[in-house]
Chain A
Amino acid sequence: MSTQAITSMHEPDSAHPATGEQADNAISVTDLTVAFERAGKTIRAVNGVSFHVAKGETLVLIGESGSGKSVTLRALMRLHPERQTRQSGSIQINRQEVLQMDRRQLRALRGKKIAMVFQEPLLALDPVYTVGQQMIECIRTHHQISTQQARARAIEALEAVRIPSPERRLAAYPHEMSGGMRQRAMIALALSAQPEVLLADEPTTALDATVQIQVLILMRELQKQLGLAIVFVTHDIGAATEMADRVAVMYGGRIVEEGSIREILQDARHPYTLALLKSRRHGMERGKPLDVIRGSPPDLANLPPGCPFAARCEHVLARCTTSVPQTTKISQSHQVQCHLAVA
């Protein structure tokens, strides 16, 4: 009943189901670069990232720390401080160019068209306001309705994320809720203004296993009902398997491989992807030493020329250290950036 209420508030565009190549992608990123100026050094966090996400589709950005996945996500809403950040390329949310927007347009974009869920709700939610106050503020910022009406919508949003006794929870402060409930409340807050795109930055990493699966299932259901496009950042292949339609593997600020979840799991081509898969249940054998990727993550302030993974790759060729690999298409939906794949 409650999810119907949210659905009726939101008019999903059911005429255009999710397929990669359609022109009306909810998100279309082309050649995005993001660099930070910090203490005289330039940190090249994102180096030419392109992807698209259709309505109702989930793209998972997977990688480890320093891969640029969180930076990419935050760039989609232009959350990085303007003065120290240099961004180039194109980010189109429903065909509007985000990198050209002025502040008024950005305010109209954030919350209403695109919303974000973070890893640690205690840090993302304001601790001195109740959850209800934050939700009502969000709703009224984007819709011209009264406080009573906004309160009613807030309750419906909390019901949609399966928080019991929503009226009481409206009056609760974030620290008074348990971890799983806080995360649900954050999802409800993010969805309260009915965005079309949801960005999720490791939303389940800090949760217990039994709670994590609940939140993942919830997000999938909400996506189906609301037709959301979701970009989900994680380092956990398991979460990716539960959520993703497509996966983009990131390393050193680039997407090294991209494909459907099945293609990535069963037919991975990039050495880094293969190494990632092996480091998980797919490759851990009792009694045998674990396969280790030698070396350490790249220094984003001193990125070497060529493929960012070259220094750690077992199959490295001379080419790899000098030139960045071009994108090779393996199938209509599967592509990889690797010199080995060209052969």
Chain B
Amino acid sequence: MTTTLTQTEDIGGPAQPLLIVKNLLKHFPLKAPFFSRAATAVQAVDDISFDVMKNETLGIVGESGCGKSTTARLLMQLLQQDRGELIFDGQTVGSAQLPMKSFRRQVQMVFQDSYSSLNPRMTILDTIAFAPIVHGMSPGQAEREALQLLENVGLDPQRFAGRYPHELSGGQRQRVNIARAIALKPRLIILDEAVSALDKSVEAQVLNLLSDLKKKYNLTFVFISHDLSVIEYLCDRVLVMYLGKVVELGTTRQVLNTPSHPYTQALLASVPTTDPDRRTEKAPLAGDPPNPIEPPSGCRFHPRCSQMIPQCKSNMPLLLTHRPGHQVACIRVNDRIGQSVSTAQQASADMSI
């Protein structure tokens, strides 16, 4: 049994994306009611591709039904994708080069519900020490390191190590979850709405903690949230999802200051005003985010899009680069940059290297 876990090596170098997501697809089949024709499926994630660069914080935004939670679980391989692959630091996940257990050492997750993500019958110390023990650390060493981790996340080990989750507040529990996530010294942490359930003042503390830990442990974050101000504060790049597809991807400044996709524009315009004299008069989008069971044909956003043209109903937009580092999946932008289908295929091949 090894006594301590070392940080996994950087294999591909700084230019290599830490995680390449390639054509990920996950549909959840629904049982057909007895007398109907065919079984339908919830098309939760439908052919998405993007990169996560080393040491960046990539934000994923979207509303209910967009597939961001499913994406998080796919990235973490808590769910198996139906199609597509994940390439971690140049190695395919699940292959002989990178078996699942090694992958799990390098990628960890922090969940939204701080309470249900902790075992109610295990002490905080045991919860944090669990993963290292699984990976071969001796229990005594694991507990010692867990105490250190508790201190690193700002919880006094003497007071907290022997406690149970129900004795902690939401913010404290989330710190425990973070400590648990870094216990294996991973390289990538996926945060699925990790601060959404916290009060704003507690959220600020946790965000500061995350920033500190990122620097200290040389981490990469994928940060899923619906809160655009937190995304703007924390993230280097942003990915916008709608109904299982990526509609826009670029740096935070590009996406939030100069959004190119009509959905992103509507999303940003839906943020409440900061000026009480200039209140929002008209909602940018009508209706609710639709259900991904039977998505519209062509561009999935076309029924609600204010800038729709006839092709939007029939053609599927491709996620293409229209400015350096900034990609959009919109027919009108596709047309504007004058790329034909064959050039578009070339562009998407370039993207996934």
Direct A–B touching, Cβ under 8 Å: yes
Distance (whole angstroms) from the CB of B153 to the closest CB of chain A: 15
Which B residue's beta carbon lies closest to that of A281?
B229
User: What number of B residues sit within 8 Å (CB to CB) of A?
Assistant: 41
**B63 lies within 8 A of A210 (CB):** yes
Chain A minimum-CB-distance residue to B275 = A241
Instruction: List A residues 248-262 near B (Cβ within 8 Å).
Output: 261-262
In the complex, the answer to whether A64 meets B226 with C-beta atoms within 8 Å is: no
Contacts of B201 in A (CB 8 A): 64, 275-276, 279, 292-293
Question: How many residues belonging to A are interface residues under a CB distance threshold of 8 Å?
Answer: 42
Q: A210-B284, A212-B270, A214-B286 are contacts. A244–B204 as well, Cβ < 8 Å? A: no
Q: Does residue A209 face the partner (Cβ distance < 8 Å to B)?
A: yes
| A280 with B288, Cβ < 8 A, contacts A208-B63, A235-B199 known | no
B272 and A239: CB pair below 8 A? yes
For A309-332 the 0/1 string (1 means CB < 8 A from B) is 000000000000000000000000
- Chain B residue at minimal CB-CB distance from A296: B169
Q: What's the nearest-Cβ distance from chain A to residue B231, in Å? A: 11
Q: Contact at A242–B279, with CB atoms within 8 Å?
A: yes
Does A217 sit at the interface, judged by CB under 8 A? yes
Report the Cα distance A293→B291, complex, angstroms. Answer: 40
Question: A168 near B: Cβ within 8 Å?
Answer: no
Instruction: Enumerate chain B residues within 8 angstroms of A81, measured Cβ to Cβ.
Output: none
Contacting residue for A209 out of B171, B204, B267, CB 8 A? B267
Provide the bound-state CA to CA distance between A217 and B279, in Å.
9
Let me know if B204 and A216 touch, CB within 8 A: no
User: Is there contact, CB below 8 Å, between B288 and A180?
Assistant: yes
Complex formed: what's the CA distance from A284 to B204 in Å?
Answer: 10
A210 and B228 alpha carbons, distance in the complex (Å): 12
- Shortest Cβ distance from B168 into chain A, in angstroms? 11
In the complex, A291 has a CB within 8 A of chain B: yes
Q: Are B284 and A213 in contact (CB under 8 A)?
A: yes
| Contact of B274 with A238 in the complex, beta carbons under 8 Å | yes
Contacts of A303 in B (CB 8 A): none
Q: Which B202-244 residues have C-beta < 8 A from chain A?
A: 203-205, 207-208, 211, 226, 228-230, 232-233
> B5 interface residue, CB < 8 Å from A?
no
Q: Is A289 an interface residue (CB 8 A)?
A: yes
Q: Within 8 Å of chain A (Cβ to Cβ): is B335?
A: no
Let me know if A120 is at the binding interface, CB within 8 A: no
Q: Does B271 contact A (CB under 8 A)?
A: yes
Write the A57-71 contact mask toward B (1 if CB under 8 angstroms, else 0): 000000011000000
Q: Is A265 interfacial (CB 8 A cutoff)?
A: yes
A211 within 8 A of B: yes
Contact partners of A238 in chain B: CB under 8 A? 271-274
A286 within 8 A of B: yes
B165-208 CB mask vs A (1 if < 8 Å, else 0) is: 00001010000000000000000000000000001110111011
Across the interface, name the chain A residue whose C-beta is closest to B289. A208
Cα distance A140–B208 when bound, in Å?
54
**Which residues of A from 273 to 297 have beta carbons under 8 Å from B?**
275-276, 279-282, 284-286, 289-293, 296-297
Is the pair B270, A213 in contact by a Cβ cutoff of 8 Å? Answer: yes
CB proximity to B under 8 Å, residues A212-252: 212-214, 216-217, 220, 235-236, 238-239, 241-242, 244
Give the chain A neighbours of B64 by CB distance below 8 A.
179, 208
- Nearest CB of B to A210, in Å: 4
Once A241-B273, A244-B276 are accepted as A-B contacts, the answer to whether A279 and B282 lie under 8 Å apart by CB is no
Assess whether A181 is interfacial by the CB under 8 Å rule: yes
B134 in the interface, Cβ–Cβ < 8 Å? no
Q: Establish whether residues B272 and A262, one from each chain, have CB atoms under 8 Å apart when the complex forms.
A: no
Assuming A208-B63, A281-B229, is B207 touching A290 (CB within 8 A)? yes
Q: Are A217 and B205 neighbours in the complex by a CB distance under 8 Å?
A: no
Closest Cβ of chain A to B273, distance in Å, is 6
Point out the residue from A208, A217, A276 that lies within 8 Å of B200, measured CB to CB.
Answer: A276
Partner of A290, one of B204, B270, B286: B204
How close is A251's CB to chain B, nearest CB, in angstroms?
Answer: 11
* B288 x A286 contact (CB < 8 A): no
- Select A213's contact among B204, B229, B272, beta carbons within 8 Å: B272
When distances are taken between beta carbons in the complex, the residues of chain B under 8 Å from A282 are 274
Cα A286 to Cα B229 with chains together (Å)? 10
Q: Is B280 part of the binding interface, using a Cβ–Cβ cutoff of 8 Å?
A: yes
Q: Would you list 19 pairs from A and B whose C-beta atoms are within 8 A, ordered by A residue? A: A180-B288, A208-B288, A209-B267, A211-B63, A214-B285, A217-B280, A236-B272, A238-B272, A241-B273, A241-B279, A262-B276, A279-B201, A281-B229, A281-B232, A281-B274, A284-B230, A284-B232, A286-B233, A290-B233
Given contacts A209-B267, A241-B275, 5 further A-B contacts (CB under 8 A): A214-B285, A217-B281, A236-B272, A241-B274, A244-B276
Interface positions of A (Cβ within 8 A of B): 64-65, 178-181, 208-214, 216-217, 220, 235-236, 238-239, 241-242, 244, 261-262, 265, 275-276, 279-282, 284-286, 289-293, 296-297
Nearest 5 CB-CB pairings of A with B: A238-B272, A208-B63, A178-B288, A290-B204, A214-B283
